[in-house]
Structure 1
Amino acid sequence: MPTQHSTEKEASQEQGIVVPLELEGLRILKQEVQADGRIRVEVMGTNERAACPHCGAVCVKEHDVRQRIKRDVPLRGHRVELVLHKRRFWCIHCHKAFTESDSACGRRKRTTLRLREEIGQQACSRPLMHVASHYQVGPRFVQACLETVASTQLAKRGLSLEESGPLPTPRFLGIDEFARRKGHRYDTLLCDLEARQVLEVSAGRKKDEVASVLERLSNCDGVEAVSMDMSTTFREAVQLCLPRARIVADHFHVIQHVNKAVNKVIGRWAKKEEGKHALEGQRHLFLRNQEDLSAEDEQSRATLAAAFPEIGTAWQLKEALRTWYAEASAETAAAGLDRWIAAVKGQGPKELRQALSAFRNWRQEILAFFDFLPTRLSNGFVEGKNNRTKALMRQGFGYSNRRHLRLRILLEVA
């Protein structure tokens, strides 16, 4: 802030500190603290001459000075007002008056550029109403600041504010959906898995809706692989728009698919008299990864598996699938998957046998995972973004403004 004070009290080091104003092209004339706590700083441009916008001549003659009040960034909770002494110069060549430029605020702006940038940055991670209340401005002004900041940041990544421009082409693309209103409205996330960035938030999850955003990729042939859950809709859209891209079924969703079948086996036994009390509160012993169980939990699981062999078999088959994912290679994956399927058919409970239909329908996409080792291509980053999106919606008590939600998702840091 100011380098000089208006009173002896303000000049005393015991009463305050000197903070640089840091607004290039302005010098301080006077400053004072108002009774309501506002810091009022009178400033004027440092240039003694200005170029005439009409004829280009350099002018030094002042015509008059007018005061304009501008808001600056708060200082330690105090509202800061700049009283700008704005000069008008007289051009002796074309005989016209003109106003000097205002680089700190911009033409016809009542706030400094740095205040608008600060508000826009805050709005990237906080609800608009919270930011508006904190800075004592209107929500529309906060929205405008957000869009200005967003436009600059997105342009650096080849993106735009509007859902119409071309999108940069990633080598590895991740696709997943999230519910804006569960059971009613869904949107689709497209992510660059290599750069770990969100590319676009597509409205809807139907084939034609997803295809319309895939068509915006600047080089469709440049996409090497697309990771997704076992969604027929997504697969059809990718096959239509990205025919050269390999589709990779996300291994987490494949294991989760089998885990759900294991859960059904446990649920069936839990309904029976012999399992009603023994299995109560014990499902996690069979659904969690083996390495995540404590020694005590592992002992409890083994005891229950001995008492309920069918559940124990289902758990062993689930763990065998996880081992296959961890140890198989592109050369051994197909044979290993066939052995696992044969084991499920031979000894697996009916729930696991019913789950095999997904492995028949998605065999090629499941095996494609091993063709991209050691990358271990997965949708983990997209799932993380989905979880963060849900947190954003809870924080903002839901978003009726889809445009704002889209911006918030695109601006989120990985």
Structure 2
Amino acid sequence: MRWWCREPSCPRKSFTEQIGQIPAGARLTERLRSAAGRRVRDAGSTVVQAARDLGVSWPVVMNAFRACAVEVTDQPLPAVEVLGIDETRRGRTRWEQDPVSGKWQLTRDRWHTGFVDALHASGLLGQVEGRTAADVLAWLSTTPMTWRKSIRYVAIDMSATYRAAIRTGLPDAIVVVDHFHVVQLANKMLSLVRRRSTAEIRGRRGRASDPEWKARRRLLRNREDLTDEQFERMWNPLLDEGPIGQRLLTAWIAKENLRTLLGLARTGADHEQVDHARWKFLTWCADSGIPEVVTLATTVDRWWRRVW
């Protein structure tokens, strides 16, 4: 409500009432703004969805989220024993041309690097644009030295770039490879074998009528997650298919041998049992004669000290 002063000598002429929840010139209460920011920060809602639910505009919710996010980002980092580092894809790459040199320069990278508490529930600790060693070291340089010294382990995928950054920024931490990415690498190997075999033998891309195409999803699932009927529907048609089926089943067995090896490592089995499973996996891959399977075994063997 706007009030007008009837005193002719009053220099202000008019004024509005205001309280803490409704400052002068505001159209929304501070409680509504705070609720909009917390929806995005704490409830995992998108900015668009929060704006629709509360009947406000996208900029209002985004500004409210920025204000709420400062409350979290300004707090000191929690103590972390196991730091997780991984890449994530976000947005699109942006290039801009330098007006002086005429060269195109990368101004926004589609890849970001995230830092998380891999042991407790502290969640995301930080995120930087890029996935180079310099990007990782730039974020670590902003953290206190005492916080970095408290980190005992760093979990990464099989990235030589991240490993090099950890050796420099966290020299006392032990680098470990999380088993999720190891199995993911084996599943990628299976898909590569399937595509290459279909292209070489059939001379075309896979079709829905091909047995290897029908079994593509079951090949990527764990053996214990397949019922006996599902396993037979995957195994028998591939076994009767010839060279393509034989390659895929050989690669699938290599993946399952790797999962067995990782399972022993997680359960803390004795070294003799683990060494036997490792020998079985490496021997099977070497005897397969499939380039993708051999590459998988070489990669796992190179990183074995970090996996185990």
* TM-score past 0.5 threshold: yes
Which position in structure 1 is the counterpart of 2:248?
311
Structure in which a larger fraction of residues adopt strand: 1
The answer (yes or no) to whether the contact 1:206–1:233 under 8 Å persists in 2 is yes
The answer (yes or no) to whether the contact 2:212–2:238 under 8 Å persists in 1 is no
CA separation of 1:136/1:109 partners in 2, compared to 1, >3 Å: closer, same or farther?
A: same
Structure in which a larger fraction of residues adopt helix: 2
The answer (yes or no) to whether the contact 1:169–1:220 under 8 Å persists in 2 is no
Matches within 5 A, 1:327-406: 327-328=264-265, 329=268, 331-332=270-271, 333-347=274-288, 349-367=290-308
1:181: Cα distance to partner? 3.4
Which position in structure 2 is the counterpart of 1:230?
158
1:293: Cα distance to partner? 1.8
User: Which segments of 5 or more consecutive residues in structure 2 lack a partner in the other structure?
Assistant: 2-13, 94-108
The answer (yes or no) to whether the contact 2:17–2:24 under 8 Å persists in 1 is no
Q: How far apart, in 2, do the equivalents of 1:263 and 1:134 lie?
A: 42
Q: Secondary structure, in 3 states, of the residue corresponding to 1:194? A: coil
The answer (yes or no) to whether the contact 1:317–1:348 under 8 Å persists in 2 is no
Matches within 5 A, 1:128-277: 128=47, 131=50, 139-155=58-74, 158=76, 167-181=77-91, 184-196=109-121, 197-218=123-144, 219-271=147-199, 272-273=201-202, 277=210
Q: Secondary structure, in 3 states, of the residue corresponding to 2:119? A: coil
Letter in 2 for 1:324: L
1:258: Cα distance to partner? 2.1
Q: Secondary structure, in 3 states, of the residue corresponding to 2:124? A: strand
CA separation of 1:268/1:304 partners in 2, compared to 1, >3 Å: closer, same or farther?
A: farther
1:290: Cα distance to partner? 1.1
Q: Secondary structure, in 3 states, of the residue corresponding to 1:223? A: coil
CA separation of 1:242/1:269 partners in 2, compared to 1, >3 Å: closer, same or farther?
A: same
Count of equivalent residues:
262
Q: How far apart, in 2, do the equivalents of 1:283 and 1:130 lie?
A: 36
The answer (yes or no) to whether the contact 1:228–1:248 under 8 Å persists in 2 is yes
The answer (yes or no) to whether the contact 1:314–1:348 under 8 Å persists in 2 is no
The answer (yes or no) to whether the contact 1:121–1:146 under 8 Å persists in 2 is yes
The answer (yes or no) to whether the contact 1:221–1:244 under 8 Å persists in 2 is yes
1:301: Cα distance to partner? 2.3
1:182: Cα distance to partner? 5.3
Which position in structure 2 is the counterpart of 1:98?
none
Q: Secondary structure, in 3 states, of the residue corresponding to 1:177? A: strand
The answer (yes or no) to whether the contact 1:178–1:189 under 8 Å persists in 2 is yes
Q: How far apart, in 2, do the equivalents of 1:314 and 1:137 lie?
A: 54
Matches within 5 A, 1:46-85: 68=16
Cα offsets for 1:338-389 (capped at 9, x unmatched): 332123213453321122231243222112xxxxxxxxxxxxxxxxxxxxxx
Q: How far apart, in 1, do the equivalents of 2:172 and 2:198 lie?
A: 47
User: Which segments of 5 or more consecutive residues in structure 1 lack a partner in the other structure?
Assistant: 1-39, 41-65, 71-101, 159-166, 368-414
The answer (yes or no) to whether the contact 2:84–2:155 under 8 Å persists in 1 is yes
Q: How far apart, in 1, do the equivalents of 2:246 and 2:256 lie?
A: 15
Which position in structure 2 is the counterpart of 1:283?
216
CA separation of 1:126/1:109 partners in 2, compared to 1, >3 Å: closer, same or farther?
A: farther
Q: How far apart, in 1, do the equivalents of 2:211 and 2:220 lie?
A: 16
Which position in structure 2 is the counterpart of 1:297?
230
Rg larger for = 1
Which position in structure 2 is the counterpart of 1:322?
259
Which TM-score applies when normalising by structure 1? 0.55
262-271 or 238-247: which moved more? 262-271
RMSD (Å) for aligned C-alpha atoms: 3.1
The answer (yes or no) to whether the contact 1:270–1:280 under 8 Å persists in 2 is no
The structure showing larger relative contact order (alpha-carbon pairs under 8 Å, at least 6 residues apart) is: 1
The answer (yes or no) to whether the contact 2:257–2:280 under 8 Å persists in 1 is no
Which position in structure 2 is the counterpart of 1:82?
none
Cα offsets for 1:290-345 (capped at 9, x unmatched): 12223322112231353333332222221111112123426423553233212321
